[in-house]
Structure 1
Amino acid sequence: MFNSKKLLKMKTLKFGLLTLLAILFLSCNQDKTENKSVALNTDKESIEGVVPEAKHYFTKAQFQEAFDAEIQHNIRLGSDELMKDATDVVNATKKAITSIADSSYVEAKNSIELGIGKAEAITALNPELALAPVDFEIGTNDLIADISSIKAVKDLAEEALDDGRIQEAAQLLDGLKSEIEIKTYSLPIATYRIALKQALVLAKEKKYKEASTFLNATLNTIVVEKKRIPLPLIRAEHILKKLDETVQEKDFDQKLAKQLLENASYELKFAEALGYGKKDKEFKELNNAVKEISKVVKNTSNTDEKGLLQKLRAKLSEFKERIS
């Protein structure tokens, strides 16, 4: 089992090689790419055109703090005691299988009984609990690219599909993600407890081979849940929090507020370009909210009387949770 503190440091950067090469090529030919994008669509409001990258206010290390906080928020699946008890149930199951293989049948039965006891304790303390977390894995895919390059890579993938080069298209699209992926492994606690009791009956009947097979099958009932949280949305949340603090200050720095708003807007467009959420609905609402807030930023007053920033932050948080 993994240690949660260590897991926060286990960040893996995953890129499709073909996508990375395509992005590098497009970056080296920036002028050609941008001209092509503008020719395809001259609507300045659309992500299909060229969206200039905003000058970043936060450093990569500062954003990492936001990513770590998001991970911590999402792995608070239960108390440490609950996770330990659930882990003990799994370990008891594995030990019983090993004991049967070693012909240590008394130890095997003792291990199964220990697992049953732990499982029943979890159920008694958490009667409504369906899944008891035992482990999790964390991976980070952080795409380093600009929006025009993403658009161009999508065009390359479309061309590959049109030519029947399906695997090439799949490789290109596989690299177009910027997210934290959290895998949670959980016991279906009610059915797991019943399965252990059935394995104990087999062991007491000296049907050890059948009991071992049954225990292995029981381990395979562990549920794996995946959650993907878009990094651009986490960054946008972090930026908007700072913006909210800035506009509430007396004689707030309008130049800084404008920069922060541009940063948040860019991150939303970056998430939109990668296809997180529905372009025609969620992002339209978010982008309209940003436009309204830009009026507040231009105002010389130091308060957000309509609470537009708080509303946008709440809407963004809800959106992020919904699509993750």
Structure 2
Amino acid sequence: MLNRNLLTSSVSALALATMLALPPALAQETSQPPASQTNETVSEPVQDEATAQVDEKRKTLLEDATRALEETEAAVKALDEGDTQAALDALAVATGKLQSVVARDPDLALAPVDVQLLQRDLLADVETINAAREVIEDLVDDGRLQEARPLMREFASEIVVETTNLPLATYPDALLRATAQIDAGDVETAKRTLATALGTVVVTEETIALPVLRAQLLIDAAEKALGEDEGTAADTDAADSGSTETESADEAAETVEAEPLSPGEYVAAARNQLKIAEALGYGDEDDFEELHENLDELDDKIDAEQDSGGIFDKIGDSFTRLKQRLFD
């Protein structure tokens, strides 16, 4: 079976500045990006979303097609070991499994057999990303594509769900052709035929831009924080003002713990994530304009302590439209 393990990578602002030979002052100023705290705030729901995406894709994998791929690899191994009968047996199973797949869905072009999650995360602020983008664009404009290519690999903050598929228009025929070649005693040609077939698997990708996902999760956190603020207001009014004199030293020490972000801070962090998404090229200014207007409206309501009304539903719809424009 193909080795399709989870792959993750992250690049810090300082590392990016070093790779791109940005000015030292910029590298020092951005070695701890301001977004790091808010990224940590939503790190768990981000991973939950990634897991959910992979689990959803795994439901679409076809057991018979997966078995056909495994049997093809077993046939290649058998031929390498000189066991032609084992290779023929494996190819017979693989062919039968694919016939079953085609019989169930004659219009199916790609049979999904495996799924892999890749995560690339550039941990930097907007200024560093924009500086890096200028370096890359200058290299491309100058025709120095090979110098730009390794830099582009790290210029991303995304989850990619890769699905490996067998092309049903060509793969079954290749198995039949290899079987005939083995029967004719042409083992080396059969090996090449199977190697070519395995090389024709089709990989499709679905991309989730992490800054956009983080922005949406931060707005969810702002909505929750607003609800909690409303719920604690009554409790504060009913509290006994004299109870502070009886607090122990241990109880006072507990108040030193880091305070959660305020609703306004969550909104500001979400706005910053949208700017990061734009800087990384996941859309242009027009794509994000609607959401920035929504967040301005939410800020006004928070500042005026007004009822948020249906603004969160409105923002949710805007996120849906944004992702449809960028990734569907």
TM-score range, shorter-chain basis?
A: 0.7 to 0.9
Amino acid in structure 2 at the alignment position of 1:70 = E
Unpaired runs of 5+ residues, structure 2, are 234-260
- Which among 275, 279, 283 is matched to residue 269 of structure 1? 275
Greater Cα radius of gyration, structure 1 or 2: 2
**1:277 aligns to what SS in structure 2?**
coil
Distance 1:219 1:308, change over 3 A: same
CA distance in 2, matches of 1:2, 1:198: 22
Equivalence for 2:264: 258
Equivalent residue for 2:157, pick from 172, 178, 181: 178
1:19–1:171 contact (8 Å) kept in structure 2: no
- How many Å separate the matches in 2 of 1:2 and 1:199? 20
Q: Could you tell me how far apart the structure 2 residues matched to 1:216 and 1:59 are?
A: 44
SS in 1 for 2:206: strand
Letter in 2 for 1:243: A
Deviations 1:116-140 (A, max 9, x none): 1221233344445332222333332
1:323 aligns with 2:320: no
Of the three residues 293, 296, 309, the one matched with 2:298 is 293
CA RMSD after TM alignment = 3.4
Give the match for residue 131 of structure 1: 110
SS in 1 for 2:69: helix
Q: 2:141, 2:169 → 1: CA distance?
A: 50
Cα distance in 1 between the residues matched to 2:209 and 2:23: 20
Letter in 2 for 1:26: L
Deviations along 1:237-279, one digit per CA (max 9) or x if unpaired, are 1112222334456726898221111111111111112221122
How big is the shift at 1:88? 1.7
Aligned to 1:107: 86
Name the % identity: 29
1:97 Cα offset (Å): 2.1
- What is the TM-score of this pair, normalised by structure 2? 0.74
After superposition, the Cα gap between the structure-2 partners of 1:200 and 1:273, relative to the gap in structure 1 and judged at 3 Å, is same
The two structures have a TM-score, normalised by structure 1, of 0.75
Shift of 1:104: 2.0
**Deviation per CA, 1:100-151, whole angstroms, max 9, x where unpaired?**
3333222211111100122123334444533222233333222222212222
In 2: Cα distance, 1:200 partner to 1:252 partner? 71
Residue identity opposite 2:89 in structure 1: N
* 3-state secondary structure, aligned to 2:305: coil
In structure 2, what is the Cα distance between the partners aligned to 1:207 and 1:66? Answer: 55
The letter for the 2-side match of 1:292 is E
Count of aligned pairs between the two proteins: 294
Residues 28, 79 of structure 1: CA spacing in aligned structure 2 closer, same or farther, 3 A cutoff?
Answer: closer
Distance 1:23 1:239 in 2: 32
